[in-house]
Structure 1
Amino acid sequence: MNALITGASAGFGRAIAQRLIAAGHTVFATARRKDKLDALARELGSKLIAFELDVRDRDATAALVKHIEQQHGPIDALVNNAGLALGLGPAQQSSLDEWDTMIDTNIKGLVYMTHAALPGMVERNHGWIINLGSIAGTYPYPGGNVYGATKAFVHQFTLNLKSDLVGKKVRVTSIEPGLCGGTEFSVTRFGGDESKAANVYQGTEPITADDIAETVSWLLSLPSHVNINTIEMMPTCQASGAFSIVRSGA
């Protein structure tokens, strides 16, 4: 199987690439950081083919999918993993630049990749699109604002794709993790402050990138008539919270 993974230079994407190659698949790995991609290619060998790509670039995204299919064969699975969270403050104090970056990456980048890869899958009546969402798209929390909204888009876009694809053997899944440790996610969100990022996971046993990779590998092993619409994953130390209520005079 040929799998295209975005955001493959670190975190979930890197772990997914490692797991799929271990299972015998060929991986087309994309990311913005060429040095990290090159290191991953040296580690994983010829079954990983690396491409420098910013998913926010609409034309480059379409050109890459066309190149892969012409030079390497059909894309059997697309893993839309590239994404990020920026900022922790309330909406009224947030950076519009950070909002733009999240919208451009988490929504538009995912849409560009899907739009480029989907027609070939439909034509072949075979393929799987796996989108990395988040429980933040279901359960709001203070400071989640635009990040949570982008992941709500991922959830709904996935379900609408499934509606369009009914009767076809092109499958689509949204994986929606909760608290995940061992990646750059929180470091990025805290503006590079590793100490603050580490405090998020203090005293917990969070989900790991390997758990996500194992889930992707399991999906790709399922019979062709089975579609998993959404997978919501949390560690046992986490649950959805109660509503926040502020009472006057309290």
Structure 2
Amino acid sequence: MTAKTLFITGASSGIGAATARAAVAKGWNVGLFARSKDKIDALAQELGKAAMALPGDATSLEDQQKAMAAIAESFGSIDAVYANAGTGLNTSGTDAGDPEEWQALVQLNILGVLWTAKAAMPYLKDSTGHLLMTGSAAGRTHIKGSVYGASKWFVHGYAGNLAEEMREWGGRCTVIAPGMVDTSFFKEAKPDKLKPEDVADAVMHALTADPRVTTREIFLMPTH
């Protein structure tokens, strides 16, 4: 049986890296896409021949298209794509918020996700594949003045709309919505919160479900 291939944005650390490790452990090939070339090179070396490092910027449609073309050529197909790259803000709220930070956030959290989906569609149509996106608990509730949360509301809404589009040709779309995860996203460690591996397990659950099942959303929260 030919191994399936998963392309991951934001693969250099945290949820993306954990998902790459989980996928390879389940027999998948992985494309590791991120700006941090040294980190994805090291991860690819760790994971061996099943992994391919693909340096690039998720805010560039051209970078994503080139990376997907490279991994499709290397492994023969792309069966799933995970739009995981995202960023937060240093200043919260609207009145105190930094418009330059907002612009960078929109470029990655919204346009970057659109570029991933746009670049992925030809490959996923060929493989009757699966698109996943990292949403957030912040995209399921209202948080005072949160521009970051609003960007994740976009992800949740777009994932649902895209699921309806993809079902026309048998494709699947899933949004993975974690609460607080102990990653470098936060300046201080969060040892009692979710681990990246918890989110990776949710991704693999969605990917390995029977083809008749589309898991539209997986919502994870820390127990404590």
- TM normalised by structure 2 equals 0.93
| Amino acid in the other structure paired with 2:165 | D
| Correspondence for 2:98 | 95
1:44 pairs with 2:31? no
Q: CA RMSD, aligned part only?
A: 1.4
1:222 pairs with 2:209? yes
Mapped contact 2:24–2:50 kept (Cα < 8 A): yes
Among all aligned residue pairs of Structure 1 and Structure 2, give the percentage whose two residues are the same amino acid: 34
| Correspondence for 2:170 | 169
CA distance in 2, matches of 1:138, 1:218: 21
**Which secondary structure state, in structure 1, belongs to the residue aligned with residue 95 of structure 2?**
helix
Structure 1 residue 160: Cα displacement: 0.3
The correspondence for 1:211, drawn from 195, 198, 202, is 198
Structure 1 residue 64: Cα displacement: 2.0
| Amino acid in the other structure paired with 2:159 | T
The correspondence for 1:118, drawn from 121, 125, 133, is 121
Q: Is there any run of 5+ residues in structure 2 with no aligned partner, and where? A: none
CA distance in 1, matches of 2:45, 2:74: 21
Structure 1 residue 107: Cα displacement: 0.8
- TM normalised by structure 1 equals 0.84
CA distance in 2, matches of 1:91, 1:178: 22
**Which secondary structure state, in structure 1, belongs to the residue aligned with residue 76 of structure 2?**
coil
CA distance in 1, matches of 2:64, 2:167: 26
| Amino acid in the other structure paired with 2:157 | Q
CA distance in 2, matches of 1:123, 1:37: 27
Larger radius of gyration, structure 1 or 2? 1
Question: For the structure 1 residues 39 and 67, does the alpha-carbon distance in structure 2 shift closer, same or farther, using more than 3 Å as the test?
Answer: closer
The correspondence for 1:136, drawn from 126, 132, 138, is 138
Structure 1 residue 206: Cα displacement: 1.1
| Amino acid in the other structure paired with 2:88 | A
Mapped contact 2:9–2:33 kept (Cα < 8 A): yes
CA distance in 1, matches of 2:93, 2:206: 36
Q: Is there any run of 5+ residues in structure 1 with no aligned partner, and where? A: 188-196, 238-250
1:231 pairs with 2:218? yes
CA distance in 1, matches of 2:216, 2:79: 18
CA distance in 2, matches of 1:227, 1:75: 18
